[in-house]
Structure 1
């Protein structure tokens, strides 16, 4: 009988990729300053040979387990899943695994997961949730680095990666002004909700800088389509004339567009509508498709993972790291050129 094929080694990968063993190791473990082309060549060689890194050997040689914990309070995954995708994209080059734990807004459960992750000797922890408001630190004097993503820590020395929600709201108002709207109403979520307050305040300030007042007082309610529909009834009864509505979320905006259409108001010809979150299920299902502010949650996840890796390597970056939002323009505020009749 012939001998069974032996497993590929790191030396085999290095030889196929035309690099040294040390370079191959760095490329597969996500370490070192290597050119993207070199890293990709090594990874391609590893895949071609079916190379599997010996996790136990890596742990013994480096003192690491090549695992990261992620603790969230976002039960439905609206925010944590895109963040997780970004985290895994960033950590995948280093062949690191992510353990996702749902704390369910329960401090006892959250501390249980923290202890469990530490007992598994994870190399670091990412903390996230469905609310952007600052939260208490998950612990003090922990043996591994912690990065907060989307949420921030009340301790200013903790490393946090957050979206510039205020900047996103200002971009929404600037866009509405740029397409000629001047009577802009605002409909958003609960008045006690951090994101609702931040987005609303920034929108009103941006209008004031343009010498304008909102078309009626901001309407605070729920993060729901039903609230968006009710809010339109209130606007039609009390706000007088308005030619645009900036909504604090895409769910609210979808309800607003439905109610405007039912009331005989055309979107965007009579009233332009902007949402917030760029949630594809909402913005693409809306009639017409919804212009919205995108917080780039996957980008937040990648940034959080990169910061965690540098902290694991002994170079922490304390304090908040604020990332810009972008505006994605669709038919709810302006008719695309390619859909207009030919002249």
Structure 2
């Protein structure tokens, strides 16, 4: 004879085990009312011991919150969004808040469908992220009745926005090369219409001078190869070091230099940008690079969202978070 499945525990079971009324048990578990700390801790401990799980629907009706948020992104592959989402979750998990991640691939229709689904679920807020800070969202998020936070995307002046400090990151990269004695530094980067590329190029020129110009192109290994070919074909003195706008570009640059018999860092030092570990650690030699601290960026966005859903004030406008330098062997360290 088969055993019956275990019975779902109820708030009545918790109250009986804790020796309190049902209303006291409910207040303790939901953090409302005037329950004293000792009773609240006892009720929560017993609820965990007997395997009680609160009814999410009843909880949302009581608190007027769904205890969930939506994350809308155009980052289909998750290169930027996944570490940011990890940071968001880190900020939310201890507060019983979950997140729904929706990828739009920059399709306005798909973005609208995701937004409507999130609103139907009555999420408490929306975090919008993108693959570039200056990307305009494919849908209008400015008229929503719930809070919106922007991470790796620039929102309206009235909304909290968290982005990496690209200028500070570029300063770390170029100053590291200068401190190691390199003077002829070339900058190979991505598309010129990206705000990040512009800010990094401006900082590079301020620190390294204009003796060697900036080469703008794609954010790809192929462009790294092509840029080295262009540099070699135009002749003149080779750069002593190359500051690359992405780790993918840097790997292409290193491979192209090796193909031409040049050693990194003995002949040319190379610095990347992203600290995309699957690339940076497997490059030969391992790549010195700039980490945009995406997990911390997501955590800050998550904390801002928590405060907004609780009615607490959050400073609007852009917050630029510092990057960090990760030193590996491509600069001779």
**TM-score interval for Structure 1 and Structure 2 normalised by the shorter chain:** 0.7 to 0.9
With over 3 angstroms needed to count, the CA separation of the structure-2 counterparts of 1:43 and 1:233, relative to structure 1, is farther
Q: Report the counterpart of residue 328 of structure 1 in structure 2.
A: 326
Structure 2 gaps, min length 5: none
SS at 1:148 equivalent: strand
Matches of 1:257 and 1:325 in 2, distance apart?
23
Contact 1:72 1:127 in 2 (8 A): yes
Matches of 1:232 and 1:115 in 2, distance apart?
47
- 1:226-237 mapped onto 2 (5 Å cutoff): 226-237=222-233
Q: Report the counterpart of residue 213 of structure 2 in structure 1.
A: 217
Q: Report the counterpart of residue 189 of structure 1 in structure 2.
A: 190
> Which of the numbers 268, 271, 274 marks the counterpart of 2:271?
274
Q: Report the counterpart of residue 119 of structure 2 in structure 1.
A: 118
Contact 1:65 1:121 in 2 (8 A): yes
- 1:95-244 mapped onto 2 (5 Å cutoff): 95-135=96-136, 138-153=140-155, 155-207=156-208, 212-214=209-211, 216-238=212-234, 240-244=237-241
Say which is worse superposed, 313-322 or 57-66, in terms of deviation. 313-322
Are 1:297 and 2:299 matched, yes or no?
no
Stretches of 4+ moved more than 3 A in 1? 1-6, 8-15, 20-26, 41-51
Matches of 2:203 and 2:285 in 1, distance apart?
26
TM-score (ref. length: structure 1): 0.83
SS at 1:332 equivalent: helix
Task: Number of aligned residue pairs: give it.
Answer: 315
Contact 1:8 1:49 in 2 (8 A): no
Structure 1 gaps, min length 5: 336-343
Q: CA deviation at 1:57?
A: 2.3
Say which is worse superposed, 155-164 or 6-15, in terms of deviation. 6-15
SS at 2:95 equivalent: coil
Q: CA deviation at 1:179?
A: 0.9
Contact 1:14 1:24 in 2 (8 A): no
Cα displacement string for residues 40-75 of structure 1 (whole angstroms, at most 9, x for unaligned residues): x99988665534232122112100111111111111
